[in-house]
């Protein structure tokens, strides 16, 4: 998602549930065994000794003879202690053996390359073994120690795949020049850089992730609003209540439930095919986390056990405690507290209204301002309250959401979530929850600590819990008794001199220019969806990516370097890899679509070839041997060693004029959309990546809906998000017509009419 923007030209007390938390931590620590299995091993060992069978082959006698203070112990006591010690050692050895066996099994990724629905016998056996060694009831972090490390690809393979990826984008002279640079790099410093990178991969849990977070995100000095943060929307068609305080009460309570399960590790680990585990490291910093600005680099501050929330409303900051009597506030209690804030008529203090614009502006300016004006006194106390809060909540003043009677309702909603007024979201928090007066919700997410699927997991849980478990009264209020004895939320206090207020204004001006330049268009593609695409025996993602290539060519008249985000979470601490979607096969297909002399059959054959190539690229990225993360780490290593590489410098400076990302649906069991078809989400999006390019996020919802979020810049004369959306729609319909040529008919003026689900589309 937004990492593509940063990847170009970057520079350098015990709670009541405490016992459960510790027990679950212990269970994850000894998984795939269980604490009770230790007792079983000890009993089995002592029973064998009782019947005079020594399974330790004399090791227990050796332990007995070397026990400290053995002269003070009776022979029977020494025998029991020796047996327990040996049994414990055997138990730990078996745990590590099981983990290592599981890690070896999980290092096999041949199943990724098998055709959908055609699983080989070897893969079936492998899956059975993985299932057997995975235990019965894994917790969220149970598999962490068993996940394999991300492998370092060979330099030759990476360079070969890189040259293949840029071939359709360059003319012969440009390609030959790039090939010369690549060969010079391979013959000079590549081997040295690769050796050091291999060394790093042996001692680091992941050779990419720490550098990716530091250099792509935290060292960037440009504003993070729009350039870094992304957003997620509420349910598309349904608003459970139109009472702002009530909806916020239920959603915040659901988030607290999610956080408690997260801290206990009680969420089920995400698993491919329902068996192969994914890394859960990113989820650890979802709550109680803030990006702290620095002069040269930011840091991510993660705290534990935060008991308060900071709320912004009409220019005022309020601190609200989330616990009472050792428990979470109930939804009805949260509603009462939020209503008190909404009813508060006090005025903002001088400089308070647009204070959060500091987090939206230049990072160096914010860091220096923080040191100068927020290092002591009430400003420090209030800033600490914000940065240590569980998360940040904005009670917005203007209604938003999808309205079928308004053509631009989703566009306005998306822009509100992405940047708002530039001063009403705390962009440094791990996420800002946004509540609208008509009951709609949404979130703005800081990107450095995690990727979109991680936040999406939480958001799916929250929306399902809000609608199907917590619910509302007939009047739209939260269920439960109202507790008016709770202490009122307290105002945060500030004292800003004139100089600080001027800095706040400067940051606001910078942020406002960025926000005003964002051309954001979100729309619903309802002509068909995943159901029809699968009937065509094609990957839905490949189908959409090829439609994006066709739309890009029709919009710009040329092909461009295309970024698609793919996850690498089958590896320990894995995050993302880039799929370079503009392949030679995709280019050949697009040219055939624009050639009126080509037949349906030839176009369809080229489409299938391009789709197969795209799927292969996605599978390679998931498996580890991608292109861009390897080259990125080689570049960082060259900087550490003080050596220069024109090839790596050229690669890392190439602009991604089309950046794309799919928002996955991960917990399909939470809502039965066949039974509740209106309870569907609309995904989320991110800001434009290149000054003259597009950012496209999409979510495939159910069988008949795809939502697109398209961003670009008004300042570019070459881009138009609405126009690009129309090109995407036509490209989707044109590709669909390849599978049903009888539905593609020419009309008198030369335009195509396509019949989809009985409807005519020009």
DSSP annotation of 352: T
DSSP states along 529-560: -HHHHHHTT--HHHHHHHHHHHHHHHHHSS--
Question: Three-state SS for 70?
Answer: helix
Identify the bridge partners of residue 711 per DSSP, sorted by sequence position. Answer: 520, 695
CA–CA distances in Å: residue 663 to residues 57, 166, 270, 395, 524: 57, 26, 15, 26, 14
The helix or strand, by DSSP H or E, that contains position 465, with its residue range, turns out to be: helix 452-465
- Which secondary structure element, helix H or strand E, spans residue 415, and what is its range? helix 409-418
The pLDDT value given to residue 688 = 92
What residues contact 43, with CB distance under 8 A and at least 6 apart?
none
Active site residues: 447
Cis omega (within 30 of 0) for bond into 455: no
Please state whether the peptide bond connecting residue 267 to the residue before it is cis, i.e. omega within 30 degrees of 0: no
In the numeric block, the tokens 């299995």 are attached to: 37
The reported pTM is: 0.89
pLDDT of residue 746: 36
Residue from 579, 561, 533 nearest 694 by CA: 561
Paired tokens of 30: 């000894």
Cα pseudo-dihedral 42, 43, 49, 55, rounded to 10 = -50
- Check residue 386 and give its pLDDT: 98
Please give the Cα distance from 124 to 122 (Å, whole number).
5
Phi and psi angles of residue 306, each rounded to the nearest 5 degrees, phi first? -85, 135
Return the closest-CA partner of residue 712 out of 555, 524, 508. Answer: 555
Q: Which residues pair with 291 in a beta bridge?
A: 300
Closest CA to 579 of 531, 553, 617: 617
Cβ-in-10-Å burial (0-12, 13-18, 19+) of 375 comes to: exposed
pLDDT along the chain (762 residues), means of 10: 53 42 63 77 80 77 72 73 83 86 90 81 89 85 92 96 96 96 96 96 95 96 96 96 97 96 92 90 96 97 92 98 91 97 96 97 97 96 97 97 91 97 98 98 97 95 95 94 90 97 97 97 94 90 97 97 95 96 97 92 95 95 94 96 95 95 88 88 93 96 94 97 97 93 44 43 41
Answer for the pair 312, 448: CB distance below 8 angstroms, yes or no.
Answer: no
Contact 393, 248 (CB under 8 A): yes
User: CA geometry: angle at 354 spanning 351 and 356, to 5°?
Assistant: 110
pLDDT at 745: 45
Res 110: pLDDT: 86
**Residue that is written with structure tokens 């708002």 in the block:** 420
């Amino acid at each position: 998602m937004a990492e593509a923007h940063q990847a170009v030209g970057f520079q350098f007390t015990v709670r009541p549930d405490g016992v459960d938390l510790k027990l679950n931590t212990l269970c994850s620590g000894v998984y795939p065994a269980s604490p009770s299995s230790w007792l079983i091993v000890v009993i089995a060992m002592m029973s064998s000794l009782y019947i005079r069978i020594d399974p330790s082959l004399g090791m227990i006698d050796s332990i007995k003879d070397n026990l400290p203070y053995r002269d003070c112990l009776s022979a029977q006591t020494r025998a029991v202690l020796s047996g327990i010690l040996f049994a414990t050692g055997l138990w730990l050895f078996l745990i590590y053996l099981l983990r290592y066996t599981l890690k070896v099994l999980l290092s096999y990724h041949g199943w990724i390359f098998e055709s959908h629905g055609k699983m080989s016998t070897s893969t079936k056996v492998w899956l059975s073994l993985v299932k057997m060694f995975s235990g019965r009831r894994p917790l969220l972090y149970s598999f962490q120690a068993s996940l394999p490390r991300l492998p370092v690809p060979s330099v030759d393979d990476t360079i070969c795949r890189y040259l293949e990826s840029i071939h359709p984008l360059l003319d012969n002279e440009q390609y030959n020049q790039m090939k010369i640079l690549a060969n010079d790099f391979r013959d000079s410093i590549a081997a040295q850089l690769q050796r050091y990178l291999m060394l790093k991969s042996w001692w680091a849990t992941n050779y990419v992730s720490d550098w990716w977070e530091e250099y792509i995100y935290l060292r960037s000095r440009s504003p993070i609003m729009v350039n870094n943060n992304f957003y997620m929307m509420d349910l598309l068609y349904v608003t459970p209540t139109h009472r702002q305080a009530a909806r916020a009460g239920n959603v915040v309570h659901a988030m607290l439930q999610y956080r408690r399960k997260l801290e206990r590790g009680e969420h089920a680990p995400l698993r491919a095919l329902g068996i192969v585990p994914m890394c859960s490291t990113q989820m650890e910093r979802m709550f109680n986390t803030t990006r702290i600005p620095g002069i040269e680099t930011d840091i991510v501050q993660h705290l534990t056990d935060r008991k308060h929330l900071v709320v912004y409303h009409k220019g005022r900051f309020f601190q609200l405690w989330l616990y009472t009597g050792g428990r979470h506030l109930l939804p009805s209690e949260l509603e009462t507290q939020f209503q008190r804030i909404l009813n508060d008529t006090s005025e903002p203090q001088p400089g308070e209204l647009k204070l959060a614009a500091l987090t939206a502006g230049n990072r160096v300016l914010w860091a220096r301002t923080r040191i100068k004006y927020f290092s002591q006194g009430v400003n420090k106390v209030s800033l600490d309250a914000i940065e240590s809060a569980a998360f940040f909540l904005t009670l917005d003043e203007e209604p938003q959401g999808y309205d079928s009677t308004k053509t631009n309702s989703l566009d306005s909603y998306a822009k509100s979530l992405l940047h708002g007024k530039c001063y009403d979201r705390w962009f440094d928090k791990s996420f800002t929850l946004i509540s609208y007066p008509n009951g709609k919700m949404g979130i703005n997410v800081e990107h450095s600590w995690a990727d979109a699927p991680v936040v999406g997991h939480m958001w799916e849980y929250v929306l399902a819990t809000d609608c199907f478990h917590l619910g509302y009264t007939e009047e739209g209020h939260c269920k439960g008794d109202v507790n008016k004895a709770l202490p009122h939320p307290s105002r945060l206090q500030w004292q800003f001199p004139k100089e600080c207020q001027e800095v706040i204004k400067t940051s606001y001006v910078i942020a406002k220019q960025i926000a005003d330049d964002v051309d954001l268009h979100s729309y619903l593609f309802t002509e068909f969806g995943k159901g029809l695409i699968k009937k065509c025996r094609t990957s839905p993602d490949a189908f959409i990516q090829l439609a994006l290539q066709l739309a890009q060519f029709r919009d710009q008249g040329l092909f461009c370097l295309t970024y698609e985000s793919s996850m690498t979470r089958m590896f320990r601490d894995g995050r993302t890899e880039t799929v370079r979607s503009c392949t030679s096969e995709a280019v050949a297909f697009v040219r055939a679509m624009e050639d009126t002399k080509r037949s349906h059959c030839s176009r369809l054959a080229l489409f299938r070839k391009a789709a197969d190539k795209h799927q292969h690229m996605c599978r390679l990225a998931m498996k580890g041997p991608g292109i861009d993360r390897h080259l990125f780490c080689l570049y960082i290593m060259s900087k550490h060693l003080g050596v220069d590489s024109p090839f790596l410098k050229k690669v890392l400076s190439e602009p991604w004029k089309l950046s794309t990302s799919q928002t996955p649906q991960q917990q399909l069991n939470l809502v039965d959309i066949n039974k509740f078809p209106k309870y569907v989400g609309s995904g989320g999006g991110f800001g434009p990546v290149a000054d003259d390019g597009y950012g496209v996020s999409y979510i495939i919802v159910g069988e008949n809906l795809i939502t697109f979020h398209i961003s670009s810049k008004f300042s570019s004369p070459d881009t138009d998000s609405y126009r690009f959306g129309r090109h995407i729609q036509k490209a989707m319909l044109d590709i669909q017509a390849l599978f049903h040529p009888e539905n593609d008919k020419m009309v008198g003026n030369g335009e195509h009419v396509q019949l989809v689900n009985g409807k005519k589309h020009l």
